[in-house]
Amino acid sequence: MINDRSRVKDVYATPIGRDVIDKILLQLDRPHWIITNPLVSNLRISRVRKLSREHLDDAFWETFYWLLNLETDQPGASNPQPAWPWWKEAVFYQIYPRSFADSNQDGIGDINGIRSKLDYLQSLGVDALWLSPIYDSPNDDNGYDIRDYRAIMDEMGTMEDFDLLLEEVHERGMRLIMDLVVNHSSDEHAWFQEALNNPESPYRSYYFFRPGADGLPNNWRSYFSGPAWRYYPEQDVYTLHLFSEKQPDLNWDHEPMRQDIMEMVRWWLDKGVDGFRLDVINYISKREGLPDGNDTIRELITFGGIENYFYGPNLNKYLRELRREAFDPYDAFSVGETPGIGLELGRLLSGADRKELDLVFNFDQLEAPGKARFDDYSYDLNYLKKYYIKYHSRLSDNDWMSIFWENHDHPRMISKVNPDPGQRRLLAKLLLVWLLTMKGTPFVYQGQELGAVNQKFSSIADMRDVESVNLYAELSAEQGEESAWATVLTGSRDHARVPMNWDETPGNGFSTVEAWLPRPEGDDGWSVAAQEADPDSVLADFRRLMALRKQYTALRRGSISFIKEKRHDYFAYLREWQGEKILVELNLSDLSHLRSQASAGDKLLYTNVKPAEQEGAGRRRLLPYQAAIYLCK
């Protein structure tokens, strides 16, 4: 047990302690030796409390000890015979159905639109599709607010359309996973409507209701601005919502609710889906009594109250139950979206021996140290390099990691790194080499295979994302519209949600009517059609890289070792499997020329620069943003 007598090094030796301290160092952009140096690491916590009493009150330490003593397990050390289930070698492709393809010209993507693109998806060589939610929803958060878990959203089509999609995906040898949003439902779900209007209803315990007379039950904040509690005057009651006001949190401590969720999961698995991406699944277990969040922690990791639910007391129990009673009987795949979870907790949630999740999405790689999504800065790829070197230095054969840096919640990576249009093609290809050769399971987000970039939205009227709209209103009130707009434009999730760019016609082949979220510019020359016709396109190279993955087992299963780790702007690693050795070299800068470490006998399998350019620089040089893959002799 961690207490005042413990030393800093004892805290850092616990999985939660290490992740929380690493997260705080990351947010403050401070080096680890601040904690690991002998002077500090041998300090007793009682001493640290005395030294920091102006900043950290007793409430902070109470929460700190509660949190650290939640988890006494350590991640599995090694797994002598790691298994090779399909999802370890697969490449997943995430579809945001609302923006993928519109088959009935209502300006909204749908299931039959996806069906019409299965040839394209199969031509990419991807192994599995992940659909963002298509269940019945009022679309307050574009489907992440589910009104009926067993019905298809009208805008997406019918259950028959879905059954045909699933059959056609399987016929093509691909798999399909759905997005399972069960931390919360829509406020229009029958459970919630009955619970709200009938305090005696059995569904009342499916949510977190608190008496209105007592005022705001705690100081937790919503991710979509404002308090995490909505007041219903007629019923004089509050309900908890970590996200929008129309997304009330489900109470996982109530066993009948869990049983209903598991029955629904089995219903979809009986239909033949291959697994699920579980939305904010680490939030489902909240600390008993829903106590206030600590102000100091809020200042350090922004969202107030998160320490009371990001890794709650019953999380492991609920995940094991969900796996045992719903997933395992179907051998179904699971990847948990786990915001706020660090490396060590991610290992506890997804280690092969843990029987909880198969994979997690860690988000620490998405922003540079000290930065958050709405900060306007240039993302330095040297940080992404350090992230993967650190991760792989700590993982064992008992672990496996997801590899991604784009999805429907984040701006496009190319624009974060370097918005110069002249660098787009080269940088897009470099990032795809990295995504498809790093050790782990790659998740490609729609448009990444085209080199998609951020959009030039001109005002908040161009945007649809509830998070962006709420944040703009909140910031405008605080700092004025111009500053609010600059912030929202930087980090809006709508950058990744504009319709796919299928061809060079007006509307980009997505729909013949104006799309629900119009693209501000046509992005000429970057459509699928234009790139299909260009052998040097990002799309063409995506297919080349996917073919290399299929050809070389080392790229799927291989060990990883890093070369010249300390050399700035240079990132190189070896993937080895049963004698097959692949070298990947990346120049992370648009300026410097770097010396290649490839040997004379190594066979160049792929590079993103033209032969003439390479000749000019000489074979021993890596040009700016050059990526190269070699089969070592």
Residues that bind Ca ion (CB under 5 A): 102, 104, 106, 108, 110
Beta-bridged to residue 336, according to DSSP, are 278, 360
Answer whether 497's CB lies under 8 Å from 443's CB: no
φ, ψ of residue 509 to 5 degrees: the values are 75, 5
**Subset of residues 176 to 205 that bind ligand TEU, contact rule: CB under 6 A:** 181
Dihedral through CA 390, CA 394, CA 398, CA 401, nearest 10? -20
* Lookup: tokens for 555: 């790229």
Residue in this structure with the two tokens 């909140």, named with its chain if needed: 474
The nearer residue to Ca ion, 102 or 523, going by C-beta atoms, is: 102
Q: Does position 467 bind ligand TEU by CB under 6 A?
A: yes
Task: Provide, rounded to whole angstroms, the least separation between the CB of residue 223 and ligand TEU.
Answer: 4
Residue 223 binds: one of ligand TEU, Ca ion, none (C-beta under 5 to 8 A by kind): ligand TEU
Q: How far is the CB of 361 from ligand TEU (least distance, A)?
A: 9
Residue 279 interacting partner from Ca ion, ligand TEU, none (CB closer than 5 to 8 Å by kind): ligand TEU
According to the binding rule CB under 6 A, does residue 310 interact with ligand TEU? no
**Amino acid identity at 256:** P
- Is the Cβ of residue 363 or residue 400 nearer to ligand TEU in the bound state? 363
Least distance to ligand TEU, CB of residue 363, Å: 7
Question: Shortest distance, CB of residue 498 to ligand TEU, whole angstroms?
Answer: 15
Residue 129, Ramachandran bin (φ over 0: left; ψ between -120 and 50: alpha; else beta): beta
**Helical axes 343-350 vs 15-28, angle rounded to 10°:** 140
- Rounded to a whole number of angstroms, the minimum distance from the CB of residue 339 to ligand TEU is 3
Q: How far is the CB of 307 from ligand TEU (least distance, A)?
A: 15
Residue 243 touches which of ligand TEU, Ca ion, none (CB < 5 to 8 A by kind)? ligand TEU
Nearest approach, Cβ of residue 615 and ligand TEU (Å): 46
Instruction: By CB under 6 A, tell whether 627 contacts ligand TEU.
Output: no
Pick one of Ca ion, ligand TEU, none as the site partner of residue 104 (Cβ within 5 to 8 A by kind). Ca ion
Report which secondary-structure segment, H or E, holds 240: strand 237-240
Question: Which one of Ca ion, ligand TEU, none interacts with residue 325, CB within 5 to 8 A by kind?
Answer: none
SS3 22: helix
Catalytic residue selected from 10, 337, 344, 494? 337
Nearer residue to Ca ion within complex by CB, 99 or 418: 99
Q: To the nearest whole angstrom, how small is the minimum distance from the Cβ of residue 265 to ligand TEU?
A: 17
CA angle, residues 541, 490, 528, in degrees to nearest 5: 25
Amino acid (1-letter code) at residue 620 = R
Task: Give the SS3 label for residue 333.
Answer: strand
* Nearest CA-CA partner of 497 in 447, 532, 565: 447
Q: Which does 98 bind (CB under 5 to 8 A by kind): Ca ion, ligand TEU, none?
A: none
Active-site residue (options: 245, 249, 279, 344): 279
Binding mask 503-542 for ligand TEU (x = CB under 6 A): ----------------------------------------
Q: What is each CA distance from 7 to 40, 70, 352, 468, in whole angstroms?
A: 9, 18, 31, 43
Contact positions with ligand TEU (CB under 6 A) in 317-346? 337, 339
For Ca ion, which is the closer residue by CB, 107 or 411? 107
H or E element in which residue 179 lies:
strand 175-180
Candidates 280, 301, 517, 583: give the one binding ligand TEU (CB under 6 A): 280
Examine residue 140 and tell whether it contacts ligand TEU (CB under 6 A). no
Cα 268 to the chain's mean position, in Å? 23
Inter-axis angle of helices 58-68 and 15-28, nearest 10:
130
Q: Does 274 bind ligand TEU (CB under 6 A)?
A: no
376 vs 534 by CB, closer to ligand TEU = 376
Instruction: Return the exposure string of 2-30: e unless at least 16 CB atoms fall within 10 Å of the residue's CB, then b.
Output: beeebbbebbbebbbbbbbbbbebbbeee
Q: Tokens for 556?
A: 């799927």
Give yes or no for residue 462 binding ligand TEU (CB under 6 A). no
Size of the site for ligand TEU (CB under 6 A): 12
406 makes contact with ligand TEU (CB under 6 A): no
C-beta closer to ligand TEU: residue 337 or 449: 337
Given the complex with ligand TEU, which of 98 and 544 has the nearer CB atom?
98
Tell me: does residue 223 bind ligand TEU (CB under 6 A): yes
Q: Which does 585 bind (CB under 5 to 8 A by kind): Ca ion, ligand TEU, none?
A: none
Contact 361, 338 (CB under 8 A): yes
Report d(CA 607, CA 426) in Å as an integer.
10
Task: Please give the helix or strand (H or E) that residue 570 lies within, else none.
Answer: strand 570-577
Question: With CB cut-offs between 5 and 8 Å by kind, which of Ca ion, ligand TEU, none does residue 108 bind?
Answer: Ca ion
**Residue 138 or 369 with smaller CB distance to Ca ion:** 138
Q: Which partner from the list Ca ion, ligand TEU, none does 181 bind, CB cut-off 5 to 8 Å by kind?
A: ligand TEU
Min CB(197)–ligand TEU separation in Å = 24
Task: Give the shortest CB-589-to-ligand TEU separation in angstroms.
Answer: 29
Instruction: Provide the minimum distance between the beta carbon of 409 and ligand TEU in the complex, in angstroms, as a whole number.
Output: 4
Asked if 374 and 339 count as a contact pair (C-beta separation under 8 A), the reply is no
Please give the DSSP secondary-structure letter assigned to residue 210. E
Q: Does 364 bind ligand TEU (CB under 6 A)?
A: no
CB count within 10 Å of CB 130 equals 24
Site membership for ligand TEU, residue 209 (CB under 6 A): no
Quick check: 278 binds ligand TEU (CB under 6 A)?
no
Distances (CA, A) of 52 to 13, 38, 45, 56, 57: 21, 19, 10, 6, 8
Residues 6+ apart with CB under 8 A from 65: 2, 3
Residue with Cβ nearer Ca ion (102 or 602) = 102
In single-letter form, the type of residue at position 22 comes to D
- Structural contact between residues 451 and 425, judged by C-beta atoms closer than 8 angstroms: yes
Residues 126 and 92: beta-carbon distance below 8 Å: yes
Our answer to whether residue 356 is catalytic in this structure is: no
Exposed (0-12), middle (13-18) or buried (19+): which is 54, by Cβ within 10 Å?
exposed
Judged by CB, which is closer to Ca ion: 102, or 367?
102
Question: In the structure encoding, which two tokens stand for residue 16, read together?
Answer: 């939660």
Exactly one of 243, 404, 485, 570 binds ligand TEU (CB under 6 A); that residue is 243
Residue with Cβ nearer Ca ion (327 or 516): 516
What's phi and psi for 289, nearest 5 deg? 85, -5
Q: Is there a contact between 221 and 252 (Cβ–Cβ < 8 Å)?
A: no
Query: Which sequence positions are flagged as catalytic?
Result: 279, 337
Q: Which residues sit at the interface with ligand TEU, rule CB under 6 A? A: 141, 144, 181, 223, 243, 279-280, 337, 339, 408-409, 467
